């Protein structure tokens, strides 16, 4: 079983707001989030990660896919520009 870094869009420890509640309905961000979280089966990635006994936890493929889909939807195609957008926009 693959080990992924945990993520929680409803956490309020470091940021006093829930990020999931900030997604407005009928936006591309909301559509991508809903599609990846509820409609896509991401279990095929689990076999690729061989970090169950040793190694650092990997980023969850759902989070990474959301980043790439949103970047492409906004016309951002290079990895450096995607990294910059991740730093500037939560």
Chain segment 29-73, per-residue pLDDT in tens: 999 999 999 999 988 887 777 776 777 777 888 989 999 999 999
Residue 69 lies in a domain: yes
Q: What is the pLDDT of residue 47?
A: 76
Whether 3 maps to a domain, the answer reads: no
The answer to whether 59 and 4 have CB atoms below 8 angstroms apart is yes
Distance of CA 15 to the CA centre of its chain: 17
**Domain of 33, in residue numbers:** 20-88
Count of the separate structural domains present in the chain: 1
The pLDDT value recorded for residue 5 is: 72
Quick one: which of 4, 17, 82, 89 has its CA closest to 46?
Answer: 4
> Has residue 52 been placed in a domain?
yes
Residues 17-25 have a mean pLDDT of: 78
- Establish if 14 belongs to a structural domain: no
Q: Looking at the domain assignment, is residue 62 inside a domain?
A: yes
């Amino acid at each position: 079983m693959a080990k992924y870094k945990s993520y929680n869009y409803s956490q309020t420890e470091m940021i006093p707001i829930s990020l999931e509640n900030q997604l407005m309905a009928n936006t591309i961000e909301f559509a991508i989030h809903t599609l990846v979280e509820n409609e896509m089966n991401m279990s095929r990635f689990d076999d690729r990660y061989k970090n169950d006994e040793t190694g650092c936890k990997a980023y969850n493929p759902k989070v990474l896919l959301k980043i790439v889909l949103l970047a492409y939807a906004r016309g951002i195609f290079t990895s450096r520009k995607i990294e910059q957008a991740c730093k500037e926009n939560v």
